[in-house]
């Protein structure tokens, strides 16, 4: 009698006699089936005590389950928008609107809406399979055990996050816009206007000084 080979299902980890379809998760275990299973692995999970060992799934896979009614308002989920913490589906950004609720205010919405009509919260999709939503930077490089665990300077700088920058000042933007539009004669006219403005200001100051001086003189004359 030939010895039965035992295999571990690569998808759910169930140990079983060699077979073409997993007895536990129903995944086809031939090359195509495994490629398909691998392709749907992602950072989203449904809490299901009946199959606790399945890997997470892609956003598109979860969204499809939501559209088919296999995820409901009270299903417990986790994913990048919950920072991998369990949350009820009607509160999960990216999924709740597919189930007809605004994740932010709970308003009834249509699955195809792009934002909430009541609170204006945008409804976004999250298709980055490698982003678990727990860190803004890429994982640091793997190191051989025993080497320093401190990051080199270049590793620290090697992040994909956008550095924080201050928005450009409105004033200088306007100035640039002014300087970048208009023909040379227009610029000459602008300069002339600026010069005229300066002249008027100088005249106003001189006039004010004269008025004050005149007032002082009159006051002194009257008090002699």
List residues binding Zn ion (CB under 5 A). Answer: 9, 11-12, 14, 22, 24-25, 102, 104-105, 107, 116, 118-119, 121
Minimum distance from residue 89 beta carbon to Zn ion (Å): 16
Minimum distance from residue 203 beta carbon to Zn ion (Å): 58
CA distance 55 to 88: 19
| 24 vs 155, beta carbon nearer Zn ion | 24
CA distance 26 to 34: 11
> Is residue 71 within 8 Å of residue 62, measured between CB atoms?
yes
CA distance 174 to 111: 41
| 48 vs 179, beta carbon nearer Zn ion | 48
| 62 vs 96, beta carbon nearer Zn ion | 96
> Is residue 101 within 8 Å of residue 73, measured between CB atoms?
yes
Structure-token match 């270049």, residue found: 154
| 52 vs 182, beta carbon nearer Zn ion | 52
The structure tokens listed for 166 are: 């201050």
Minimum distance from residue 18 beta carbon to Zn ion (Å): 13
Minimum distance from residue 52 beta carbon to Zn ion (Å): 12
């Amino acid at each position: 009698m030939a010895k039965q080979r035992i295999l571990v299902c690569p998808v759910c980890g169930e140990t079983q006699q060699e077979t073409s379809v997993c007895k536990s998760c129903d995944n086809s275990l031939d090359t195509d089936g495994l490629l398909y299973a691998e392709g749907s692995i992602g950072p989203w999970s449904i809490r299901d005590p009946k199959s606790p060992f399945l890997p997470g799934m892609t956003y598109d896979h979860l969204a499809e389950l939501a559209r088919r009614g296999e995820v409901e308002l009270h299903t417990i989920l986790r994913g990048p928008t919950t920072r991998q913490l369990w949350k009820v589906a009607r509160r999960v950004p990216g999924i709740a609107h597919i189930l007809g609720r605004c994740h932010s205010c709970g308003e009834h919405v249509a699955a195809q809406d792009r934002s909430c009509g009541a609170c204006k919260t945008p409804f976004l999709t999250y298709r980055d399979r490698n982003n678990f939503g727990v860190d803004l930077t890429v994982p640091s490089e793997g190191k051989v055990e025993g080497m320093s665990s401190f990051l080199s300077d270049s590793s620290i700088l090697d992040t994909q996050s956008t550095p924080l920058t201050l928005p450009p000042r409105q004033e200088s933007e306007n100035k640039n816009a002014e300087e970048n539009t208009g023909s040379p004669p227009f610029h000459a006219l602008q300069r002339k206007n600026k010069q005229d403005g300066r002249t008027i200001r100088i005249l106003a100051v001189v006039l004010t000084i004269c008025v004050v001086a005149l007032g002082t003189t009159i006051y002194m004359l009257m008090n002699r």
